[in-house]
């Protein structure tokens, strides 16, 4: 077993410039500007959207990953699907902080370490932050998290789009969906979902307006359950000192770690000679090679890879390239000098 510790590289220069007034900084559960307030408790986030903080379960209940984006029109200017992630941050028509679906276009968004659940009553369960006082007509589909939820959707006769099932519509003044209308008779938390499909209902031609179709800023779940490290809703498993996900009652939870491997959770590629690359730090007695080293952006695109990288190499690590500030996912497979091969994955925060 290998110790997999996340080192928080808190760089004073970066902290001094950190702000809590954006889509990701208002939905990450971190006090980015060190003023004692986090996410919806921070006045700067409230200035972006009081509705989001009033309607949503928590600031961490917003979509965190783009699974797919299919624009319904060609040549859309506002075509960055990442603008639908995190806290709603649209302020004016010129800031570009929305993604346009185009007539008949669609987007699939997923949550991070949480699942959306039904309320069991007639209250809204999902909010869609579509720009303007009146929303474009859109169909809403949900992806079931477990077999029980999938069977419930099938039994209710809901039609499907691949792994998503249509559960409602938004349009006009209605910007929320109540899961329990389509799936009645289930008490709170019985139905669980991990992703949302939003599909624009075509009403005009692509040439009729500048930004045809729905203009999405964010989505959020009203009722969310946290997933533990094993992917169990409200589960009790956690990482031990060796980075192994186990129940604390498991006999191996407190076993000593044979080797230690430190993986940071942030780096700052600003050429100041300090933490300029994302690399791992093995203890002196550890050696081996990284068979695969992969970096992905928030919507799953592979943006960097390296192979057969010496664990103590001074080159070949990710220097950030042209990637903007943000959170990225990594995956690596390491073969240690004792012959064991392990896989490691997590997130890395790029701070310029």
294 and 238 within one domain: yes
- b or e along 256-278 (b: 16 or more beta carbons within 10 Å of the residue's beta carbon)? ebebbbebbbbbbbeeeeebeeb
Residue 67 lies in a domain: yes
What pLDDT does 29 receive? 73
199 and 105 within one domain: yes
* C-alpha 132, offset from chain centre: 25
Residue 173 has a CB neighbour count (10 Å cut-off) of 8
Distance CA 82, CA 104 (A): 19
Q: What is the mean pLDDT of the chain?
A: 84
161 and 104 within one domain: yes
201 and 304 within one domain: no
Residue 15 DSSP code:
H
What pLDDT does 259 receive? 58
Answer positive or negative: Cα dihedral of 234, 262, 297, 19. Answer: positive
Q: Residue 92 corresponds to which tokens in the numbers above?
A: 């004016």
Residue 285 lies in a domain: yes
Listed range (99-103, 283-287, 340-344) with the worst mean pLDDT: 283-287
Residue 214 lies in a domain: yes
Q: Is the pLDDT of residue 134 over 80?
A: no
Confidence (pTM):
0.72
Single out the residue of 129, 127, 8, 111 nearest to residue 60, CA to CA.
111
Residue 154 lies in a domain: yes
Residue finishing a domain among 177, 200, 226: 226
Distance CA 349, CA 344 (A): 16
What pLDDT does 298 receive? 74
127 and 96 within one domain: yes
Say which residues have a Cβ less than 8 Å from residue 39's Cβ, sequence separation at least 6. 20, 26, 27, 28, 29, 45, 58, 59, 60, 87
CB 299 within 8 A of CB 67: yes
What pLDDT does 28 receive? 73
Higher-pLDDT residue of 285, 40: 40
Residue 21 lies in a domain: no
Tell me: the pLDDT tens digits for 234-260? 999 988 877 678 899 998 888 876 656
Distance CA 215, CA 175 (A): 12
Residue 128 lies in a domain: yes
Higher-pLDDT residue of 101, 21: 101
Q: Is the pLDDT of residue 9 over 60?
A: no
Q: Is the pLDDT of residue 4 over 70?
A: no
322: exposed, middle or buried (C-beta count within 10 Å: 0-12, 13-18, 19+)?
Answer: exposed
278 and 177 within one domain: no
Q: Is the pLDDT of residue 3 over 60?
A: no
Residue finishing a domain among 226, 261, 277: 226
Identify the domain containing residue 332 by its residue range: 2-9+232-350
Tell me: the pLDDT tens digits for 288-301? 889 999 999 877 78
Residue 37 lies in a domain: no
Residue 249 has a CB neighbour count (10 Å cut-off) of 8
Say which residues have a Cβ less than 8 Å from residue 163's Cβ, sequence separation at least 6. 143, 144
Residue 155 lies in a domain: yes
Residue finishing a domain among 226, 244, 261: 226
219 and 285 within one domain: no
| HSE toward the beta carbon, residue 185, CA cutoff 13 A | 6
Residue 329 has a CB neighbour count (10 Å cut-off) of 15
Q: Is the pLDDT of residue 152 over 90?
A: yes
What pLDDT does 10 receive? 33
Q: How many domains does the chain have?
A: 2
Please report, for the domain that includes residue 319, its CATH number.
2.60.40
């Amino acid at each position: 077993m290998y110790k997999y510790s996340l080192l928080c590289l808190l760089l004073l220069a970066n902290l001094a410039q950190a702000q809590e007034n954006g889509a990701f900084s208002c939905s990450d559960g971190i006090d980015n500007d060190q003023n004692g307030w986090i996410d919806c408790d921070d006045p700067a986030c409230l200035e972006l959207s009081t509705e989001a903080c009033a309607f949503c379960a928590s600031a961490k209940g917003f979509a965190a990953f783009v699974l797919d984006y299919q624009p319904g029109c060609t040549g859309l200017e506002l075509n960055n699907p990442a603008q639908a992630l995190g806290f709603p941050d649209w302020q004016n028509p010129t800031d570009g902080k929305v993604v346009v679906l185009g007539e008949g276009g669609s987007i699939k968004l997923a949550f991070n370490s949480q699942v959306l659940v039904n309320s069991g009553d007639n209250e809204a369960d999902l909010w869609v932050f579509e720009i303007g006082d009146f929303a474009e007509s859109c169909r809403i589909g949900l992806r079931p998290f477990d077999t029980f939820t999938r069977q419930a959707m099938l039994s209710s006769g809901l039609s499907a789009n691949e792994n998503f099932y249509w559960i409602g519509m938004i349009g006009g003044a209605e910007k929320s969906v109540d899961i329990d209308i389509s799936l009645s008779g289930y008490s709170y938390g019985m139905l669980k979902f991990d992703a949302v499909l939003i599909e624009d209902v075509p009403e005009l031609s692509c040439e009729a307006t500048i930004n045809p179709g729905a203009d999405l800023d964010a989505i959020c779940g009203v009722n969310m359950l946290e997933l533990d490290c094993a992917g169990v809703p409200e589960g009790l498993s956690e990482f031990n000192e060796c980075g192994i996900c186990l129940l604390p009652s498991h006999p191996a939870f407190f076993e000593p770690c044979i080797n230690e491997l430190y993986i940071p959770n942030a780096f700052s590629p600003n050429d100041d000679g300090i933490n300029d690359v994302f690399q791992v730090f093995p203890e002196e007695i550890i050696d081996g090679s990284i068979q695969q080293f992969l970096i992905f952006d928030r919507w799953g695109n592979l943006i960097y890879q390296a192979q057969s990288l010496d664990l103590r190499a001074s080159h070949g690590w990710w220097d950030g390239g042209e990637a903007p500030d943000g959170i990225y996912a990594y995956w690596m497979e390491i073969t240690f000098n004792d012959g064991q091969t392990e896989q490691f994955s997590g997130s890395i925060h790029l701070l310029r």
